[in-house]
Structures are given as C-alpha cells and as structure tokens.
Amino acid sequence: MLTGILSVTIIGLCYCIQKAPEPVENRLHHDLLHVRSYSKLIRPVDSNLQRLTVKVGLRLSQLLDMDEKNQIMTTSVWLRQEWFDQRLKWNPSEYGGIKMTHIPSDHLWRPDILLYNNADGDFVVTLLTKATVHFDGKIIWEPPVIYKSYCPIDVEYFPFDMQECFMKFGSWTYDGHELDLQHICDAQAVYNEETKEKVITWGIDIKDFYPNVEWDIINVTARRKEKFYPCCPEPYPDITFNITLRRRTLFYSLNLIMPCVSISCLTVLVFYLPSDSGEKITLSISILLALTVFFLLLSDINPPTSFVIPLIGKYLLFTMIVVTMSIFLAVYTLGINFRRPATHRMSPWVRRVFTEILPRILLMRRPDMERTTRVPIRTCNGIEMRDVRDIYSSSQASSHSKEWTTECAYDNTQQNSDLTKYPREIKEAFQGVISIADHLKTEDEENSVSFSFNEFYLSIELLSFKISNNKK
C-alpha cells in the first residue's frame, strides 16, 4: 500500500517538473566558440591575403614613477584594441535580441601587440580581462597594464627640465601586409610628407589621469609609421605615443637650489672674516664639505651620463673651485698678515703696489694713527726733546729720525765726553735712557713694516672679496 502511494507520487512529480530553459547568452557562447569550431590560433580573415585592421588607443591613468637615474618611466595605462572577427558574427533576433556579450580574452584570437621600448617588466598584457564582442564581429579589448618603458632623460636644465618620453607599440609577428596597425583616432591624423608618418595631435586619452606630484603633462601625441627591417622586405607598422613632461620645481627649489645658493654666498664672507679670529680656514673647509654633499646628492638623482652636465652641477662645480681657490688664498694671506720684519722683508715695488696704489683703487681708508701723547726720549743741550714721529708712517719716521739725529749728534758726543765728571749711577742711568730710545726706535721700525704687511693682507682680502662678490 505504502509502496504504491510512493510510486504514484514520484510519477506525478516527474510530470509536473518541466525542464528549465537554457540561458540565451550561454547558448550564444556555445554556438560561437564550440559549434562553429572557433580557433584562437588563426588570424580572423576570410583569406590569407586579406589584411586585418587593428586599431590601438592608449588611456593614461597614472604616472607611477620616473626613475631618472635608470631612465625608466613607469605608467599605468589602459591599452584599447579594436578589430573585427568575421567568425564571431550572429543575428541578434535569434538570440533574444543580444547585440553584445563579454567573452574571456584568452578564448579569442588577440593581436600580439607589445611594447617595443620595454625597460623592465612584461612586454605583453598579463591581465587577460574579458573582451566585448558585438554582433557584427567587432571586438573591443581594453585591459589595464603597468608598463616600464625606457625614457631618455635630458638633465641639462635640471630641475627646470622637460622630458620627452615615448611608448612604442607594434606587432611582433605580423607584418604590414597581414596586420594593419592604426590609431583609434586615425580619422584625425595628419600625414607628414617629410617623415612619412601620420601624426595625431591628441594621441593619448588623459581624461582619467590622476595628477602627479612631481610632473605635469604638457603634450601627448601619437605617430604611426612603417619601418623596414634588414630581415624582411615587408613593412612593419608601429604606433609611438609621445608624452611631454615638465618637472614641478617647488620641491627642488626649496630643498636643493636655495640651500646651495645660501651656502655659496658664505664664500664671500670668508674674505670679510678677520684673520685674528682664526676661523677663516675652518669656514672655507666647512663650505667646501657642504657643497660636496650637495654635489653627491645631485649625482645620486641624475643618471650617470657623459653627454651633458646639469646647470646646477656646473654651478656647484664652479663654486667648489672658487671655494678651493679661496682656501689657498686665505692660507697665503694669513701667512702675509703674520709676517714680521725679523723673518721677512718687503720689496719696494710690493710696498708701493699693495700699500699705496691698490688701496687707492679699492677706496681703502687708512686709519689715523697719530699718537695723542708725546714720548720724552732724551735731552739735547738741557732742552727736553719729544719723539714727534708717526710710528706707523715709514716716510715720516725716517724724516724725523734724520732731523733728530742731526740735531743731537754733536750734543750726544759732547755729553758722552762729559760723562766722566758724573757719578757712576748717572752714567748708568744715561746709558739706560739711550738703550730705551734705541729700543723704541727699533720697535717703531718693526711696527711700520708689520703695518705694511697688514696693509698688503687687507688689500688682497678686499680685492678677493670684490672679485668673489662679482662672480656670485
């Protein structure tokens, strides 16, 4: 009894359950790829002599990195490719009005478009996204790609430079007779008779571009040309996308240029620093070390090229040479400043040039060194005589010395002959006065020569200061 009831129930359910209808898009995919025996290895043309047209477009999303040292530009792009596959046509009325469907790209024939100037990474698209297939056989495939392309860097005007980078795409296998590579905006192209190439002014789509913090995009063009290689007589078309970049200078101006200029200006102060401070050489070497650090930093940023030297590099190199020369000059002038008559003698022409002629040219004012008090030295004929010489003026000192010696020569001789009638204490006192006078005279002469060396030093320092200031 129970068995009969179960049997009737099962039979009823079998009649009630109807087969679910097959999805239309599933049937479409099955018919396109399996029923028609579609092969992704065969070029989608009716005849082998027929040329397939593939249109390529580039949408720039991000400029990820610009490695100036290795000359590599890293970009995130969407590479749009369009072509017609006659084997993937269908009648929309037979498939529920479907005019477009999405098919995985690894199931379809794809043109082997790759980046010619690839520097580091994959030459081809690695993320195989789905392609959009239309009922008339048109296929649109726009996968996202991260390319690392070679970009020649011109650092002559760094950091106020502009770079011309390019991305060259073409088929690796098919020649121009089998695959006609065109830009997606080929209708707007202008043919250049001289270079035999088509130029598209706005060749890259940058509507979805994320602004870069270091570079601004100035211009984007595309060029389509055909090139003949030694291996083959057939032409090979390629499309080159050119990207003109301009560097944003605020970062480098604040962190590189301004510190370099500020440190370089300190070179002028080396000649203004007094020699008695003992810090002239220390300051010069500190400036030289600071400039060397910035020079190494610049070398680390820019590529190791021997074709051109950046202007800021030339500026740093010139400043380092000036600082090095200032160190040698500071050592020489310090040696002059501390010369003494006991060890060195000044030539007359050197004295005239550096203590008389050059100070007048440099508008140097000699300080007033007249003594405010007179120093009693000795008496002639019972009258007290005072030294009225300017101890710092050699010409006045020599003239006064001659007058004083002439006036008192006879008196001194007479007094020396009359010393015998004075006591021994007076004789010793008189000899002491004579020794003091001779010592003061010698000291005056040494001070005069020392002052001449000091004037020599000041003249060279002021001349170096003006020359260095003009160079800055």
- Cα distances (Å, whole numbers) of residue 190 to 141, 186, 203, 243, 454: 26, 9, 12, 18, 76
β pairing state of 375-380 and 383-387? antiparallel
Residue 208 CB contacts under 8 Å (≥ 6 apart), including other chains: 59, 61
Residue-level pLDDT at 183: 94
Q: How many CB atoms lie within 10 A of CB 284?
A: 25
**What count of Cα atoms within 13 Å lies in the side-chain half-sphere of residue 445?**
13
Residue-level pLDDT at 360: 66
- Residue 207 CA to residue 76 CA, distance in Å, equals 14
Residue-level pLDDT at 401: 43
Residue-level pLDDT at 436: 77
Residue-level pLDDT at 361: 64
- Residue 388 CA to residue 109 CA, distance in Å, equals 112
Residue-level pLDDT at 220: 95
List strands edge to edge, sheet with 113-115: 113-115, 162-171, 235-247, 215-228, 197-200, 190-192
Residue-level pLDDT at 144: 92
Residue-level pLDDT at 124: 72
Q: Which residues of the chain have pLDDT under 70?
A: 1-22, 121, 123, 271, 275-278, 334-422, 427, 439, 441-472
Handedness of CA 228, 232, 236, 241 (dihedral sign): negative
- Residue 199 CA to residue 222 CA, distance in Å, equals 6
Residue-level pLDDT at 410: 44
Cα end-to-end distance, the chain, whole Å: 116
Q: How many CB atoms lie within 10 A of CB 311?
A: 15
Residue-level pLDDT at 434: 76
